[in-house]
Structure 1
Amino acid sequence: MTTHSDSDVIPSGETLERMTENLQKVEELSERLQRVLTNRQTHNPALDGPNQELFGRAAQAYWAEAVNNPAKVFEHQMTYWADTMKQFVQAQQELAKGKLTAPEDPGPKDRRFANPLWETHPYFNYVKKQYLINAEALTTAVQDVTDLDPSEKNRLTYFARQIVDLMSPTNFLATNPDALEKALETEGQSLVQGLENLIHDLEANKGELVVKLADETAFELGRNIATTPGKVIFRNRMMELIQYTATTEEVHKTPLVIFPPWINKFYILDLKAQNSLVKWLVDQGHTVFVVSWVNPDPTYRDIGMENYIEDGYLTAIAEIKGITGEKQVNAIGYCIAGTTLALTLSLLKQKGDKSVKSATFFTALTDFSDQGEFAPFLTNDFIDGIEEEIEDKGVLPSVIMARTFSFLRSNDLIYGPAIKSYMMGETPPAFDLLYWNGDGANLPGKMSMQYLRGLCQRDELARGGFDLLGHKLTLGDVDVPLCAIACETDHIAAWKDSYRGIQQMGSKDKTFIMTQSGHIAGIVNPPTRNKYGHYTNPDLKLDYADWLAGADFHEGSWWPRWESWLKKRAGKMIPARKPGDSSHPVLCDAPGTYVAKKATL
Structure 2
Amino acid sequence: MMAVPPTSEPFTAPFPIFTESTDRLMHALQGRFTMAMSPASLMLAYLDWQVHLANSPGKMGELAQNALSKALPLSRYALDSLMGRTDPDPFVPLAQDSRFASPEWQRFPYNVMSQAFLYTEQWWHYATTGVRGVGKHRQQVVSFAARQLLDMVSPSNCPWLNPDVLKVTAEQGGQNLVRGWQNFCDDMTRNLTGRDYSADDTYAVGKGVAVTPGKVVFRNRLIELIQYAPATPDVHAEPILIVPAWIMKYYILDLSPHNSMVKWLVSKGHTVFMISWKNPGPEDRDMGMADYRRQGVMAAIDAINAIVPGQKVHAAGYCLGGTLLSIAAAAMAREGDERLASVTLLAAQTDFEDAGEIMLFVDESQVTYLEDVMWDQGYLDAKQMSGAFQLLRSNDLVWSRMVRQYFLGQTDHANDLMAWNADATRMPYKMHSEYLRRLFLNNMLSKGRYTVEGRPIALTDIRAPICAVGTTKDHVAPWKSVYKIGILTDTDSTFILCNGGHNAGIVSEPGHKHRSYQIATRTDADKYVDPDTWAALTPKHEGSWWEAWQEWLVSNSTGKTQPPAMGAAERGYPAVADAPGLYVLMP
* TM-score of the two chains, using structure 2 as the length reference: 0.86
Partner of 1:22: none
- Displacement, 1:242? 0.8
1:140 lines up with 2:126 in the alignment: yes
Kept in 1: contact 2:80–2:87 (CA 8 A): no
Q: Please give the alpha-carbon distance, in whole angstroms, between the structure 2 residues aligned to 1:84 and 1:106.
A: 9
Kept in 2: contact 1:215–1:427 (CA 8 A): no
Partner of 1:29: none
- Displacement, 1:53? 3.2
Partner of 2:55: 64
- Displacement, 1:105? 4.9
**Residue 105 (structure 2) aligned to one of 115, 118, 125:** 118
Q: Please give the alpha-carbon distance, in whole angstroms, between the structure 1 residues aligned to 2:277 and 2:143.
A: 36
Structure 1 window deviating more from structure 2 (566-575 vs 312-321): it is 566-575
- Displacement, 1:279? 0.7
Kept in 2: contact 1:535–1:554 (CA 8 A): yes
Partner of 1:597: 586
Q: Please give the alpha-carbon distance, in whole angstroms, between the structure 2 residues aligned to 1:421 and 1:296.
A: 33
**Residue 421 (structure 1) aligned to one of 405, 408, 424:** 405
Structure 1 window deviating more from structure 2 (305-314 vs 484-493): it is 484-493
Letter in 2 for 1:114: A
Kept in 1: contact 2:36–2:384 (CA 8 A): no
Deviations 1:438-462 (A, max 9, x none): 2111111111111111111101011
Letter in 1 for 2:393: R
Q: How does 1:232-243 map to 2 (within 5 A)?
A: 232-243=216-227
Deviations 1:112-133 (A, max 9, x none): 123322112x232232222122
Three-state SS of the structure 2 residue aligned to 1:538 is: strand
Q: How does 1:133-532 map to 2 (within 5 A)?
A: 133-206=119-192, 218-507=202-491, 509-529=492-512, 531-532=514-515
Letter in 2 for 1:61: H
Question: In the superposition, relative to structure 1, how do residues 236 and 542 fare at CA in structure 2: closer, same or farther (>3 Å)?
Answer: same
Kept in 2: contact 1:525–1:531 (CA 8 A): no
Partner of 1:86: 76
Structure 1 window deviating more from structure 2 (439-448 vs 151-160): it is 151-160
Deviations 1:165-207 (A, max 9, x none): 2222111222223333444444444334323433443443349
1:558 lines up with 2:545 in the alignment: yes
Kept in 1: contact 2:355–2:477 (CA 8 A): no
Q: Please give the alpha-carbon distance, in whole angstroms, between the structure 1 residues aligned to 2:541 and 2:89.
A: 40
1:537 lines up with 2:524 in the alignment: no
- Displacement, 1:294? 0.8
Three-state SS of the structure 1 residue aligned to 2:99 is: helix
Kept in 1: contact 2:307–2:565 (CA 8 A): no
Three-state SS of the structure 1 residue aligned to 2:55 is: helix
Deviations 1:356-392 (A, max 9, x none): 2211111111111223322211122222221111111
- Displacement, 1:430? 1.5
Q: Please give the alpha-carbon distance, in whole angstroms, between the structure 2 residues aligned to 1:215 and 1:419.
A: 22
**Residue 573 (structure 1) aligned to one of 528, 536, 560:** 560
Three-state SS of the structure 2 residue aligned to 1:341 is: helix
Q: Please give the alpha-carbon distance, in whole angstroms, between the structure 1 residues aligned to 2:212 and 2:85.
A: 55
Question: In the superposition, relative to structure 1, how do residues 596 and 183 fare at CA in structure 2: closer, same or farther (>3 Å)?
Answer: farther
Q: Please, which runs of 5 or more residues in structure 2 have no aligned partner?
A: 1-28
Deviations 1:262-318 (A, max 9, x none): 111111111122211111100110111101111111211111111111111111111
Partner of 1:77: 67
Question: In the superposition, relative to structure 1, how do residues 244 and 479 fare at CA in structure 2: closer, same or farther (>3 Å)?
Answer: same
Letter in 2 for 1:425: G
Q: Please give the alpha-carbon distance, in whole angstroms, between the structure 2 residues aligned to 1:512 and 1:132.
A: 38
Q: Please give the alpha-carbon distance, in whole angstroms, between the structure 1 residues aligned to 2:34 and 2:98.
A: 34
Letter in 1 for 2:411: T
Kept in 2: contact 1:234–1:587 (CA 8 A): yes
- Displacement, 1:44? 4.7
Q: Please give the alpha-carbon distance, in whole angstroms, between the structure 1 residues aligned to 2:85 and 2:295.
A: 66
Deviations 1:50-107 (A, max 9, x none): 4333223322322322x2455413312313542453344345x44xxxxxx6855566
Q: Please, which runs of 5 or more residues in structure 1 have no aligned partner?
A: 1-38, 95-100
Kept in 2: contact 1:216–1:430 (CA 8 A): no
Q: Please give the alpha-carbon distance, in whole angstroms, between the structure 2 residues aligned to 1:102 and 1:449.
A: 59
Kept in 2: contact 1:41–1:206 (CA 8 A): no
Question: In the superposition, relative to structure 1, how do residues 385 and 287 fare at CA in structure 2: closer, same or farther (>3 Å)?
Answer: same
**Residue 588 (structure 1) aligned to one of 567, 577, 580:** 577
Kept in 2: contact 1:250–1:574 (CA 8 A): yes
Question: In the superposition, relative to structure 1, how do residues 368 and 222 fare at CA in structure 2: closer, same or farther (>3 Å)?
Answer: same
Q: Please give the alpha-carbon distance, in whole angstroms, between the structure 2 residues aligned to 1:382 and 1:189.
A: 44
Question: In the superposition, relative to structure 1, how do residues 69 and 422 fare at CA in structure 2: closer, same or farther (>3 Å)?
Answer: closer
Three-state SS of the structure 1 residue aligned to 2:497 is: strand
Letter in 1 for 2:66: H
Number of aligned pairs?
A: 547
Letter in 2 for 1:152: R
Q: Please give the alpha-carbon distance, in whole angstroms, between the structure 2 residues aligned to 1:354 and 1:279.
A: 28
**Residue 43 (structure 2) aligned to one of 48, 52, 61:** 52
Q: Please give the alpha-carbon distance, in whole angstroms, between the structure 2 residues aligned to 1:326 and 1:206.
A: 52
Structure 1 window deviating more from structure 2 (47-56 vs 528-537): it is 47-56
Q: Please give the alpha-carbon distance, in whole angstroms, between the structure 2 residues aligned to 1:348 and 1:62.
A: 51
Letter in 2 for 1:78: L
Kept in 2: contact 1:531–1:557 (CA 8 A): no
Question: In the superposition, relative to structure 1, how do residues 534 and 182 fare at CA in structure 2: closer, same or farther (>3 Å)?
Answer: same
CA RMSD in angstroms comes to 2.7
Question: In the superposition, relative to structure 1, how do residues 106 and 565 fare at CA in structure 2: closer, same or farther (>3 Å)?
Answer: closer
Kept in 1: contact 2:31–2:373 (CA 8 A): no
Question: In the superposition, relative to structure 1, how do residues 300 and 331 fare at CA in structure 2: closer, same or farther (>3 Å)?
Answer: same
Structure 1 window deviating more from structure 2 (436-445 vs 105-114): it is 105-114
Q: Please give the alpha-carbon distance, in whole angstroms, between the structure 2 residues aligned to 1:40 and 1:351.
A: 45
Structure 1 window deviating more from structure 2 (333-342 vs 557-566): it is 557-566
Q: Please give the alpha-carbon distance, in whole angstroms, between the structure 1 residues aligned to 2:407 and 2:199.
A: 17
Q: Please give the alpha-carbon distance, in whole angstroms, between the structure 1 residues aligned to 2:88 and 2:469.
A: 45
Structure 1 window deviating more from structure 2 (52-61 vs 274-283): it is 52-61
Q: Please give the alpha-carbon distance, in whole angstroms, between the structure 2 residues aligned to 1:155 and 1:379.
A: 11
* TM-score of the two chains, using structure 1 as the length reference: 0.85
